[in-house]
A and B are shown apart, each in its own frame.
Chain A
Amino acid sequence: MSAEQVTFPLAPVYKKKGITFHQALAQAIHPEGDATTNSGFVAVKYTDSVRSGEIAKIEYDFLINATGPKLNFGATPGLGPDGHTVSVCTFGHAVEAAKSLKEIITKMKAGERKSLAIGVGHGTCTCEGAAFEYTFNVEHEIREAGVRDLADITYITNEYELGDFGVGGLVFSQAGFQTTSKLWTESLFRERGINAILGAHVEKIEPGEVHYELVDGTKGVLNFDFAMLLPPFRGVDLKAFDKLGIEISEKLFAPSGFMKVDADYSGKPYEEWVAADWPQTYRNPLYPNIFAVGIAFAPPHQISKPRKSPNGTLIAPSPPRTGMPSGIMGKLAVISIKELIKIGPSADVGTASMANMGAACVASAGSGLRVGSAASMTMYPVVPDYVKYPNTGRSVDDTFGEIGLAGHWIKLALHYMFIYKAKARFGWFLIPE
């Protein structure tokens, strides 16, 4: 798909819905106002062509922080489009990655053997599902180009096992048996002839070389001609100040830069983690009129078991919370605000803990209406609850995985449905998150 097929201007959508739209970069939150106002406000810097660079205050009664992440390429030297690897995190990045891949395929067509490294570029990355998806899409493209025998494809990840996906892996029933996402994913790697480096923290990237450390402390180098490695995420560069102008960022944000909400941030060990650690209302405890949803909220801890190498390097997939969970959290915040406006501060607000919601993931493994393929997965709940589901932490009936052409059709249908919904076209609200 082209960039034009997956992007569209937001201003007309907001105009249609009667929403005032400011295209601006949020720089600071002043939850108590300042010397000139008692109302909370966000200090912004405009980025649209008309007011570019202009500073302003946008006052609020309720604030929903839904900034998404900062792509922290700086965490790994040499990572990213300004370094030696490509990325698919923005449509601009994806266009560049597609161009680089095309060049590599052209060279393979000329008979050159090439090495491709795909995965995550730091021990604490999230979105392993996206890296997995891209790996199999690239393999598909290379196979369709008729040069598969000239490509060595390696998936490098911080996951301890294949099929972890940052959620500690899945157990589901298939053909009358309980099976694991590990076995299922390994089968796909075997079928497609893709190598894997697991439990890896990428230390640095040099031209043509990924330097990494494994959970067992050993170090290695993966040579590449093409590398797409996702960056770790952190919260956007947003600060907070009290009424006197004193910085209170550490009260509103976790050290990762994500906003604190009603989660348990006590930092207890893995063995003591419970489903109740996860936030339910996504309200900031200090300023309950501020909500943080999607990637913007600070998770209490990982979902996968975190590990450290003997050298002390943390290798721990961060919890995924994009897609379906983000949509539900956003909806929750809006419904809660509606109740708070109608009834006042004593109103009941809804809950949407990730330990009480499911998620569906359709990971494309190749496009084409007749030859496409995708891995369709659902899990319920996203965060395992070993009290409710003592054996696997999740409902085996509502957790499943399947590979096939049907998954590609679902992926395609979802793409058009989500674009339709995002454009707020007729009946958009009937499309689930």
Chain B
Amino acid sequence: MENPGESIARAPLPTDKTLRQRKSLFIQFMRFIAINLKMIKMIRKGHHPMERKVK
């Protein structure tokens, strides 16, 4: 089993630019729309209980 401390220490660290982007109101508003669209797509794909019927 891998040592979690070592594995975490090797994980990619977000740059200052990435951290700023995660808080940018404009970028995050666009991401808000994009994530919602992705979720709606996923919901439409797999949330229709009566589409597949069995006796």
Contact = CB atoms under 8 A, between A and B. Distances in A.
Nearest to B30: A406
A328 B50 CA distance: 11
B47 A186 contact: no
A162 B4 contact: yes
B31 to A, nearest CB: 4
Contacts of A378: 38-39, 42
Interface in A378-433: 378, 380-381, 398, 400, 402-407, 409-410, 432-433
Given A335-B49, A350-B53, A432 B43 contact: yes
Contacts of A280: 52, 54
A406 B47 contact: no
Interface string A356-392: 1110100000000011010010101100000000000
Contacts of A371: 23
A331 interface: yes
B50 A187 contact: no
A348 interface: yes
A71 B30 CA distance: 40
Given A198-B1, A376-B35, A406 B45 contact: no
Nearest to A433: B47
B20 to A, nearest CB: 11
A191 interface: yes
A409 B38 CA distance: 15
Given A187-B12, A189-B11, A376-B35, A197 B4 contact: yes
* B4, B42, B49, B55: most-surrounded residue (chain A CB, <10 A): B49
A360 B5 CA distance: 29
State the majority secondary structure of interface residues on A. Answer: mixed
Given A281-B54, A404-B21, A406-B28, A360 B1 contact: no
A335 B28 contact: no
Contact of B29 (A189, A190, A406): A406
Given A187-B11, A214-B1, A378-B39, A409 B32 contact: yes
Given A378-B38, A406-B28, A358 B52 contact: no
Given A398-B41, A407-B35, A380 B46 contact: yes
Contact of A405 (B2, B23, B51): B23
A369 to B, nearest CB: 10
Interface residues of A, number: 53
A274 interface: no
Interface in B6-46: 7-14, 19, 21-25, 27-29, 31-32, 35-36, 38-39, 41-43, 45-46
B50 A190 contact: no
Given A348-B55, A373-B22, A404-B22, A358 B46 contact: yes
A423 to B, nearest CB: 21
Nearest to B35: A376
Contacts of A195: 4-5, 8
Nearest to A307: B1
A226 interface: no
B8 A350 contact: no
Nearest to B34: A406
B36 to A, nearest CB: 7
Contacts of A238: none
A281 B53 CA distance: 9
B52 to A, nearest CB: 5
A404 B23 contact: yes
A69 B6 CA distance: 36
A432 to B, nearest CB: 5
A199 interface: yes
Contacts of B42: 358, 360, 378, 380, 398
A358 B49 contact: no
7 contacts: A191-B19, A196-B8, A349-B53, A398-B45, A405-B24, A406-B28, A406-B29
Q: Which 5 residue pairs are nearest across A and B when measured between Cβ atoms? A: A186-B11, A348-B53, A332-B49, A406-B31, A350-B49
Given A370-B25, A373-B22, 5 more contacts: A197-B4, A198-B1, A328-B47, A349-B53, A351-B53
